[in-house]
Amino acid sequence: MFRGGWVENLVKNLLLYIILTAVGLLFALPFLWTISTALKESAQIWQFPPRWIPNPFQWQNFPEALKIMNFLLHLKNTLIVVFTSLVGVLFSCTLVAYGFSRFRFGGRNLLFIVLLSTMMVPPQVTIIPIFIIFTKLQWVNTFKPLIVPAFFGYPFYIFLLRQFFMTIPYELDEATIIDGGDYFTIFWRIILPLSKPALATVSIFHFIGAWNDFFGPLVYLSENTKYTLAVALAAFRGVYWTYWHYLMAASVVVALPCLLLYFFAQRFFIQGITLTGMRG
């Protein structure tokens, strides 16, 4: 590591920071531009060359845009879908992962491979018969199609939790059995309490996935009053397609919760990726 002198190291580091920052700007500029547009008054949007700093700052774009797109209603819809499906995910995926990680039964490895390969089936391939069933059940234009499947487990989260459960020592199971506990005690008293970080990872992944999901709500929700934020934002664009300051303000607000969640829960993301064993 000390091959070059300290001058060489300094130059190297400087160069590195320049590249890092330049690339960082490429990634950040679209966001900054969005925020800048969201704070401009409509006349300024049509100004060319564009200005980065809005003058004046048009803060009322935010309440106005949110009011027009009926934000609170769609927020409520989104939260209902996100959190009830989260309950389903946590319930089903932990049980299934427990089954795969702690029990020996015929065909276990084959079933686990099947589970992994279903991750590769594009959802569009199966959606038509599922849609037909939900239509017959009169579930279309309700939140049920977006919630009920979560109670049957999602392969990626099952995989993630199973990898985590495998790291919990068997001696704890043994001790529980000796103390007179059964499989449910192990699950409830040992596995779940020791898996809080993994549960947090799954919850965050699912929150972001469900919050941002577009295809599902687009297919299953037909009335505007039922729309989740993702669909409502797309519909907002359909009507107010030249009101860029409103569109950008609404986009910022819709994107913000996931960005904040990511900021404050980064370590769970990293853990999630490490858990999938993609370390070479």
Closest contact distance (angstroms) between CB of 225 and other proteins is 18
Closest contact distance (angstroms) between CB of 63 and other proteins is 18
| Residue (80 or 265) nearer to other proteins, CB | 265
Closest contact distance (angstroms) between CB of 130 and other proteins is 5
Distance CA 62, CA 200 (A): 31
Long-range CB contacts for residues 125-132, cutoff 8 Å, separation at least 24: 127/215, 127/219, 131/219, 131/220
Closest contact distance (angstroms) between CB of 9 and other proteins is 11
Distance CA 250, CA 62 (A): 7
Alpha helices in the chain (DSSP H): 6-38, 42-45, 61-68, 71-102, 108-118, 123-136, 144-147, 155-166, 170-178, 183-185, 192-194, 196-212, 215-220, 229-239, 244-264, 266-275
| Residue (72 or 133) nearer to other proteins, CB | 133
Closest contact distance (angstroms) between CB of 129 and other proteins is 4
